[in-house]
Amino acid sequence: MIHTKKEQLKQFTDKYGQVCKENGHINSELYDEYGVKRGLRDNNGKGVLSGLTNISLIQAYEEKNGTMMPCDGKLLYRGYNITDLIKGINKGNRFGFEEITYLLLFGELPNSSQLKEFKKILTASRHLPTNFTRDVIMKAPSKDIMNSLTKSVLTLASYDDKVSDLSISNVLSQCLKLISVFPMLAVYGYHAYNYYACDDSFYIHRPDENLSMAENILRMLRPDKKYTELEAKVLDIALILHMEHGGGNNSTFTARVVSSSGSDTYSVVAASLSSLKGPKHGGANIKVVEMISDIKAHVGDLSDEVAVKEYLEKIVDKQAFDKSGLIYGMGHAVYSLSDPRERIFRNFVEKLAEEKGKNDDFKLYSMIEKLAPEVIAEKRRIYKGVSPNVDFYSGLVYSMLDIPLELYTPIFAMARIVGWSAHRLEELINMDKIIRPAYESIVSEKNYIEIDDRTFD
């Protein structure tokens, strides 16, 4: 006997969920028969060409003797190699988030006066409507900060009397506003949840107009508002490396698809956030941290390469961790030999590990970085090389910065909204048609009259 509506619903959905599976299944052989590139990628993993962009370039192959061969990965922002940009920022001993945001949005590096003016605009945009924190962020707080962030973004649309104005100047204004307030929306959302659900202290630290984006994130997050210069510098580098990665990544493509329909900026960003939160996209660094914790719990001697490798083999064989067969943080949809972002990040991670007394953790990550490609190559049939991606080390960095797990993906969003904004502007400037790919229908027509032998009371 069913006692509650909830139980009644569960019984129904358990039954008809199976019906959905049976009637919704499509034979995988049909995809090859119809020439469908699943995931909009060919069998070699290369994405289907669906647009043009002048914002960034990802290179994983180069031509040698008339043949395209895998090469060390390269990432360009508006034509500038990301490695050179990071070197320049590091050499100048400055924070680079605002500078690279200017580059991605406007297509050129700012001079000192342009950067000064831009920083003032970002600071002026870094405020929320009156009582927004109380009336929106603190109402029905969620442990899922990405959902909280999405709710806040959509609610901000209610405060914008030009929400549907698609002029480039207005969209730019909206984008700058969202770039500026993302850290506030996410960090305040985290504090609100802890206050109500975990009976923790609730404190709101307002951003300091004299600080960089990275410094303000740490200032707002920590009770004492304190951080070291290296901590802020490493977070700044992390934000820059996560800012942009071509128009084909899932969340950025979402931004372009929704923009092409003529929708407003808040809806576009909310859709991109919903895409980013998936564990196959922005949530990957969380899975890396969880996987490392699992390895620590099951391998007695973490300095023993043989023992670590044997456990990695169990993970790939779907006998350990989440039984997905994946070593998280390894491999990339585009890169083959190396992810340039990971190579840059690794050096900063090592310095931070030394400052934080986490050298043993760094050694374990380095060991897995070496062993995982070997295990995957031995166990799996792969069409290209496997190397660590930027998410492999980002989780370690965030943990060393005492950033809670719930904010890992929101921090990714704080960076990637810059890329979303640049692509939204580019889509609107060049938009001609709504993006509408085709799906081949394999349904057979049925005659309703002839088959309708059902009886009804």
Catalytic residues: 332, 391
Q: Count helices and strands (H / E) in the chain.
A: 19, 3
Strand ranges across the sheet with 80-81: 56-64, 67-77, 80-81
User: What is the SS3 assignment for 69?
Assistant: strand
d(CA 307, CA 285): 24
User: What are 121's two structure tokens?
Assistant: 């605009």
Residue type, 286: I
In 202-249, which residue ranges form alpha helices assigned H by DSSP? 213-221, 229-242
First to last CA, the chain: 23
User: What is the SS3 assignment for 203?
Assistant: coil
Element (H, E) at 360: helix 359-379
CB-based contact 153:270 (threshold 8 Å): yes
Element (H, E) at 302: none
Other beta carbons less than 10 A from residue 324's beta carbon: 13
User: What are 325's two structure tokens?
Assistant: 């067969």
Beta strand 67-77 with 56-64 is: antiparallel
d(CA 403, CA 103): 28
Contacts of 235 (CB under 8 A, 6+ apart): 214, 217, 218, 397, 401, 411
What sign does the dihedral 63-68-71-77 (CA atoms) show? positive
Give the CA distances from residue 191 to residues 141, 197, 213, 223, 260, in Å, rounded to whole numbers and listed in that order.
Answer: 9, 10, 19, 10, 36
Contacts of 66 (CB under 8 A, 6+ apart): none
Give the CA distances from residue 47 to residues 38, 51, 248, 252, 256, in Å, rounded to whole numbers and listed in that order.
Answer: 10, 11, 7, 14, 16
Other beta carbons less than 10 A from residue 32's beta carbon: 11
User: What are 451's two structure tokens?
Assistant: 């088959």
DSSP string over 174-234: HHHHHHHHHHHHHHHHHHHHHHHHS------PPPPTTS-HHHHHHHHHSTT----HHHHHH
d(CA 413, CA 419): 10
d(CA 353, CA 188): 28
